[in-house]
Each structure stands twice: as structure tokens, then as C-alpha cells.
A and B are shown apart, each in its own frame.
Chain A
Amino acid sequence: MSDSPPAGDPAQAGDPAAGDVAAAGSDPAAAVADAHRREWAFVLAATARVAGDIDLAEECVQDAYVAALDAWSRAGVPRNPAAWLTTAARRRAIDAHRRDRTLRSKLPLLIEPGSEFAAAPPPGAGEETAEDDVIPDDRLRLVFTCCHPALAREAQVALTLRLVCGLTTVEIAQAFLVSEPTMAARVTRAKKKISAARIAYRVPETAELPDRLDAVLTVVHLLYSTGHTAPGGENLVRRDLVERAIGLARMLRTLMPDEREVRGLLALLLLTDARRTARAAADGRLLLLAEQDRSQWDRGAIGEGTALVTGALRGGRPGRFALQAAIAALHAEAPSYGDTDWPQILQLYDRLIQVWTSPVVALNRAVALAMADGPGAGLAEIEDLERGGHLAGYRYLPAAKADLLRQLGRHAEAAQAYREAFELTGNETERSFLARRLNEVTGVRSAGRPARPH
């Protein structure tokens, strides 16, 4: 999803020239798998409108993929797999309604604005020629419905993975380290709320779009950071989450080309992900930005991310994703940690904190301040934050404080702060990093466990 250009862009569904099965070749199983990865959201979103019910739509789309394996084996892979699958799934939905008209009236329906909702199937939807009809791209409706603010954040995340990315409940449960029944219950409850409370299947109006879009972007960012810094779980699963998140950001960029925050989010993800191979040493040890081998950074991703940042910053007050991406871009361009444009990063943090009041941002700003104006200035800010109490229990506060105290040569205080951070950290990689630093300031050179307070 992340490496490929949006060649199978389903917005082009129905356009013979856009038919593209090159990636999958003529192997039907590979073509079906490829279509599942690329086109699930498009097919489901278009089917949901006809089915009027998410569960029925999911069922019909599943069936369509199963049927595709058989049909494509016999008759070859169609030139436009998304259109084929959508037509097949919609036909199943229409059949289901025809079979059971009386039941249908009792089915919880997806609510569409106005009378647009198809009580009768759209003209031609059930006909053989339907493959050539232009199928509306409803993916945005699907995304905004999954990320509706009336749903809990964890439900938004689960629904997005399930309905937009087509992941199974088992896969989602594994990614978030919860049991399958727990995740199944979460998904079921969320779907039930969508129908019972009549959450509309639509893209929000202009007035509410900024807030609603922010929720969508937050979900995608959360997916990314879960994959990027998960406290546990298998690497492969986490990599998959990162790729899904970048894929979703790319999809949003295609569907909402004028939204600067969408650009900002995609840029932020690309610029952060560009450093992935440099984040850990060969022995798995966590490497700080200052320690990373910058020649390992993915220059292609940095180039793409930086170009997006430029667009995201232009034309009015930039949002929080654009500003975070701009900071990431400055890091990406810097030849070394010391030779980074810290004054400009500090300025960007000043603007970021205006649009996004968050103690975590304030902490990051303090670190940038320390780099720009010296460790003493940064330390004063961090101590202010500590007194404010909003970051109590947040392990990166004592860790950052310890680092500045160490730079100032105040080793006893630094040791105390490292111990504090160590106690708050569950991640083994981070714990061994803190243990090493603690040993440095206490004069112990062996890489064993740190001296613990008694």
C-alpha cells in the first residue's frame, strides 16, 4: 500500500484507460489479494450506499472477493478489478433486498442525507452493463463515518482498520494487543451505534469539516504511532500498521487535495518514517536523533515529505500537522543534530503551541530551546512544566530533564531524574538506554542494571 503509486486509483473506476492489473500480473490469486489491499475501501464504500447497512455491505463485499477468485481464474483478471468487485458486491446487496423486502424495512439502515438514499437500486446497478457506469467514490463518506466524534477513539481506530483497510478482527486485535472477543465486541458495538443512533453516511459540511477532519487525521496518526512506538507486539504487525497509516494518508491526500492538514499529516508520516532504519542499532539499542546515522535516512521519503510541507505551510495559518511536519523536515535536512536550525525549530514550536496547546508540545519546545539557547534555558522551562503538574508520570519529562542536568554537569540531580524516568518506563529498549545514561552520570561504566534507590 505504501510503496506503490496510486495506480489502481479507484476514482478512475469505469474508465477503461485506467484499468491496471500490471502489478498483479495474470495470477488471479495475486490479483485478488492486490485488489483487497488497494480497493477494499472503494468497493465497500460504494456497496454501503446500495446496501444501506454496513454489515450487509461487508458481507456482500466479502462474497464478491470470494467470487472473484473463481471468476478471474476462469475468465481472466478484468481490466478494472475495482469496478468488477463493486458491481458484484452491489448486485448481491440488491438481491438481498429483493429477496427480503419485508425484513429490509426492519434492517438498521445507513442514513443518507436527503432523499438521495436509494430505496430502489440506482438505474443500471443490477444490469450487465454496470461495469461501465461511473461508480461514485464514497471512500470519504466511509472514513468520516468511521471517525465520527460520537464514537470512542478506540472504536474509530478499530472501525477504520476494519471497514476502510479491510483488516479482519483478528488482525486488528493483534495489532492493538487485545483479545479477539474484546475487539469483536468493540467493532460490533460501534456498528450498532452507527445504525441505532443514525450516524449519517456522509462527508461533513464545510462548517464542521475542520473539526471532523482533525478527528480523521488523529486516527490515522494514532495508527502510525502505534506501529512506530508500540510497547510490545511483533515487529511485522507494527510495520503493517505503519504502512496502513501511510496508505490512509495517501488516500486522503488523493481525495482531499486542497486540505493542507492532510498534506501536513502525510508529510509528517513520511518524514518520520524516513528515519526508521536508523532508529535502532544492530543490537536493537534505541538510537536518539543525535546518534542516528543520517546516511541511512530514506532520501526519497524526505524529498516527498519536504515538498508536501511547503504546500501545507502556504496560504494561511498552518495547522498542527503541517507545523509538526515542518519541524520534522528541518531535522531531515540538517547534516547533524548540532548543525540543525534550532532557532527556526523553536519558532515553529512557538507557532505549534498556539494552535495546539499541549504539555507534550511544551516539553518538546523546551528541548529545542535548550539546543538554541543552552541547557540552562531549557531546564528552566522543564522545571516550570514539572511544577504545572500536567505531565506527572510522563516518562519523557524526567528523561529530558536528566539529559540537561547531565550537560550542565549536575550529575547527582541528573542521576535522580534518570532513576525517575527509568521507573516510569516499561519499554525494554528505552530502559536499557536510561540505564546506560544513569551509569554514565554515576560513574559506573558497566552496562548492567542501574543502581536503584532503596
Chain B
Amino acid sequence: MAQYAILIYADESNFADMAPEVWQQLTEAHGRFAQQVGEKGGKILGGEALQPTGTATSIRNDVVTDGPFAETKEALGGFYLIEARDLDHALDIAKLCPAPGGCVEVRPVMDVSGG
């Protein structure tokens, strides 16, 4: 098994004024996803939703600036860390990850254990 990050990108403006029932649906969709990963033979090792990029602070060469590292229409809004057999398995799982109107990116996690 290998580890992959599923990075969820979406247009933040969609979330800014999201109706409570829509938010509720999204939360339920993520609950279902967590269940489906297990059914697919994968495993969720972790994951979080992030506050919008308006709350981000960037540091480059020790210079602290307000805002995300790049201003883009779609921004990183959350992530999962999963375990999967190979890329096809990871993609199979990532296809189930809720990202309404957005996109998910699958990135292999680098093994730095040195073993």
C-alpha cells in the first residue's frame, strides 16, 4: 500500500454564502465518502477542511504577507490522506470524493523513511 493526498480545489465564493442545508448535504457526502473508501479497500489516514484563503498568511524568505501563496479562482479547500494499492486504486477512490463544482488532485506522498 502507498499513501496519496487527495487535494480538494473549489471556488471559494461557492462556500461563502452557502445555505445551511447545502452545507449539511456536503457534510453528509463526505461522511458517505469515508465509508466508501473502506468498501473500496482503501483507508483514510487523515484529512481536514481548511478555512478560506482570506485567512491565509504566506511567508517567503521570512517575509510575512497577508493572503495565499497564489491568488487563483479555485483554491485548496481541504484534503484527505489515504492509503491505496496503486495509482489506479487511488484514482478510483478519489473519483468518489465530493468536490461540487471543483476538482480533486491526487498526489503520491513521498516516502522519506529511508527504509
Tell me the A residues contacting B by CB distance below 8 Å: 105-106, 111, 113, 148, 150, 196-200, 204, 208
Chain B residue nearest to A194 (CB atoms) is: B87
Chain B count of residues within 8 A CB distance of the other chain: 12
> CB-CB contacts of B73-104 with A at 8 A, as 1s and 0s?
00000000000011110110000000000000
B50: Cβ under 8 A from any A Cβ:
no
Contacts of A197 in B (CB 8 A): 87, 106, 108
Chain A residue nearest to B115 (CB atoms) is: A105
Chain A residue nearest to B84 (CB atoms) is: A198
Whether the Cβ atoms of B115 and A199 lie closer than 8 Å is no
Write the nearest CB–CB distance from A201 to chain B, whole angstroms: 9
Chain B residue nearest to A105 (CB atoms) is: B115
Chain B interface SS verdict (over half): mixed
Known: A105-B115, A111-B86. A198 touches B2 (CB 8 A): yes
Complexed CA–CA distance, A198 and B91 (Å): 11
Whether the Cβ atoms of A196 and B108 lie closer than 8 Å is yes
Write the nearest CB–CB distance from B41 to chain A, whole angstroms: 12
Complexed CA–CA distance, A150 and B89 (Å): 12
Complexed CA–CA distance, A199 and B90 (Å): 10
Tell me the B residues contacting A by CB distance below 8 Å: 2, 85-88, 90-91, 106, 108, 110, 114-115
Complexed CA–CA distance, A124 and B115 (Å): 29
| The one of B88, B108, B110, B115 that contacts A200, using a Cβ cutoff of 8 Å | B88
Complexed CA–CA distance, A105 and B87 (Å): 20
Write the nearest CB–CB distance from A454 to chain B, whole angstroms: 42
Contacts of B85 in A (CB 8 A): 111, 113, 200
| The one of A105, A106, A199 that contacts B86, using a Cβ cutoff of 8 Å | A199
Whether the Cβ atoms of A198 and B87 lie closer than 8 Å is yes
Complexed CA–CA distance, A150 and B88 (Å): 9
Write the nearest CB–CB distance from B46 to chain A, whole angstroms: 19
Contacts of B2 in A (CB 8 A): 198
Complexed CA–CA distance, A113 and B91 (Å): 15
Whether the Cβ atoms of A200 and B91 lie closer than 8 Å is no
Chain A residue nearest to B89 (CB atoms) is: A200
Complexed CA–CA distance, A105 and B115 (Å): 7
Q: List 15 A-B contacts (CB under 8 A).
A: A105-B115, A111-B85, A111-B86, A148-B87, A197-B108, A198-B2, A198-B87, A198-B90, A198-B108, A199-B86, A199-B87, A200-B85, A200-B86, A200-B88, A208-B88
Write the nearest CB–CB distance from A140 to chain B, whole angstroms: 15
Contacts of B90 in A (CB 8 A): 198
Complexed CA–CA distance, A374 and B110 (Å): 63
**Contacts A106-B114, A197-B108 supplied; 8 other A-B pairs, CB < 8 Å:** A105-B115, A111-B85, A150-B91, A198-B2, A198-B86, A198-B90, A199-B87, A200-B86
Complexed CA–CA distance, A106 and B115 (Å): 7
Complexed CA–CA distance, A111 and B88 (Å): 11
Chain A residue nearest to B110 (CB atoms) is: A196
